[in-house]
Amino acid sequence: MSAETRKKLVQILLVEDNPGDVRLTREALRDDHTNHLTWTSDGVEALACLHREGKYADAPRPDLILLDLSLPRKDGREVLAEIKQDPELRRIPVVVITSSEAEKDIDKIYNLQANCFITKPLDLDRFVLVVKTAVGFWSGIVKLPLQ
Amino acid sequence: MSASEGASRTPARRTVERALEEKVAREEHQRVEASRKLLASIVESSEDAIVSRATEGHILSWNRGAEKMFGYSAEEAIGQPISMLVPPECASELGQIQERVAQGESVGRYETVRLAKDGRRIDVSLVVSPIFDAAGRITGASSIHRDITERKRAEEALARRAEELERSNTELEQFAFVASHDLQEPLRMVASYTQLLAQRYQGKLDADADEFIAFAVEGAQRMQKLIQDLLTYSRLGSRREEFKPTECGQALGRALQNLAASIEESGASITHGPLPTVVADGSQLTQLFQNLVSNAIKFGDQQPPRVHVSAERNGAEWTFAVQDDGIGIDPQYADRIFVIFQRLHPRNEYPGTGIGLAISKKIVERHGGRIWVESKAGEGSTFKFTIPTERSNHLA
């Protein structure tokens, strides 16, 4: 992929520890050729990627972050808090997508300035629809500040 | 003459009068003595420790009950300060009791701890009353100690047992919740990927593969439904809304709104009589009406189903009835239908996991009521449940 085509693509960072969900997310977006998905499987990796540390030196700055909550090493709540406290990163929309439905999680996540909270639908078709809709909304409908 | 006659009669009369007086006094004394002995023997024979003391605090009398309870003999105890029975941690209460007694008040059924000779602490229920002399002055106090150690022990054992039960019940609910929540994740993978297989490879493998995949998809989806129901059921205990006065008419109205689609589809007519206001968890009450009305529609026999909801007051509780003209229930199954995941009909005839009535039962029981069904096969069913008119505190 050349630098130019990559630039036009919507860069998505998916932070998810379950490979099954990663593949499902890829499947949901597979007919949509306007985006590029980078995957990290825990919170420490996700922040390294966002700060372009180590092997992530060339990582693209994401246009959208899809963030799971239960992650090894550093969980999604901590990752979210760090992103929203970082002046460089805090304008990137963060979509929390998790299996939790707990009200205390929902409260906490919005207090931490997440852009939205989604409970992973149990049904495949619904899951595909939700991922497509969320990505479509944040990458195609809303006006975001220039980076 | 008459004077000497009179004088000669007088001493004799005096003697008789004195004798009579003495007899009366002796009899009076005997009566008093008998009554005193009777009272003393009642006091003596009492199981309760009955102790009297002077205003200054030293012990004046000590019955056998006191000897038995505290381990001091009457000789040892009489003359000693009453404070020797009071353990250090209760020292302050003695002054308070004395103050009230000094004002002529009695202190009744006061539960406290007293100290025996060997240092044992005894749980007692105490009644302390002032003692008055003939002139109405307070000269001391009597105290009756009842040993309530056994009762206390039984109460504590009961409280511990209740606490254990409550804890194990909470743990069980938590377990059901955590287990079903955690099972849901891997199951979502199975369900999603079998569905994905079905979508991508339907008709591309062979007929057997299509059939196998279809069974896998259906099994996984059914299990998802069961687990979701189990979650709903276990949440009834953990997600508690506050109990407050709730208009049953409104709760029923919300339930019917939620059921609008199936009411319209079945053409059901749902009527209700006057409904009271009860102290309840509003969303659970809505859920309860919703489950019962939706069952009535689902198991309707004639088209369109007719359902009537009513309530009547019976003493300290309201009895609600949800009556339908559906297929009815054989009375031998009247209890089984309230057990979680119990079904009476094949899934293809009447879909569902068998959770609705289990949830209804749990809701009713959380509100301190009972639920049952009155029915005969083929003659419709009436589901009845009760809700107390006053909310009792132990359920809060």
Q: Which pLDDT score is estimated for A147?
A: 64
Residue A48: inside a domain: yes
- pLDDT digit string, tens, across residues B130-151: 998 888 888 889 999 999 988 8
Q: Where are the domains of chain B?
A: 1-45, 47-147, 242-396
Across chain B, where does the E strand assignment appear? 49-54, 59-62, 107-115, 121-132, 138-147, 244-247, 269-272, 277-280, 306-314, 317-324, 371-375, 381-388
Looking up residue A23, the CATH number of its domain turns out to be 3.40.50.2300
In angstroms, the CA B183 to CA B242 distance is 30
Q: Could you tell me which residues are beta bridge partners of residue A147?
A: none
At residue B1, does pLDDT exceed 50?
no
In angstroms, the CA B269 to CA B263 distance is 8
Q: Where are the alpha helices (DSSP H) in B239-281?
A: 248-258, 260-266
- Mean pLDDT across chain B: 86
Amino acid A120 reads K
Amino acid B339 reads V
Residue A144: inside a domain: no
Best to test chain A binding among B192, B197, B234, B240 (most A CBs inside 10 Å): B192
Does A31 reach chain B within 8 Å, measured CB to CB?
A: no
Pick the residue from chain B with its C-alpha nearest to A98. Answer: B185
Residue A90: inside a domain: yes
Residue A58: inside a domain: yes
b (16+ CB within 10 A) / e for B195-228: bbbbeeeeeeeeeeeeeebeebbeebbeebebbe
* Nearest-neighbour CA in chain B from A118: distance (Å): 15
Residue A31: inside a domain: yes
When divided into structural domains, chain A yields a total of 1
CATH for B242-396, among 3.20.20.70, 3.40.50.740, 3.30.70.1450, 3.30.565.10?
Answer: 3.30.565.10
Pick the residue from chain A with its C-alpha nearest to B185. Answer: A99
pTM above 0.80, yes or no: no
- pLDDT digit string, tens, across residues B80-135: 998 899 998 888 888 888 888 888 888 888 889 999 999 888 999 999 999 988 88
Q: Which pLDDT score is estimated for A1?
A: 47
CATH architecture type of domain B47-147:
2-Layer Sandwich (3.30)
Taking contacts as CB-CB distances below 8 angstroms, the residues of chain A near B191 are: 122-124
Are B191 and A123 a contacting pair at CB < 8 A? yes
Is B284 strand, coil or helix? helix
ipTM of the complex: 0.81
Taking contacts as CB-CB distances below 8 angstroms, the residues of chain B near A27 are: 196
Q: Which of A32, A24, A66 is nearest to A49 (CA)?
A: A66
Taking contacts as CB-CB distances below 8 angstroms, the residues of chain B near A123 are: 191, 195
Taking contacts as CB-CB distances below 8 angstroms, the residues of chain A near B199 are: 124
Domain that holds residue A110: 3-135
Residue A29: inside a domain: yes
Best to test chain B binding among A124, A127, A129 (most B CBs inside 10 Å): A124
Does B228 reach chain A within 8 Å, measured CB to CB?
A: yes
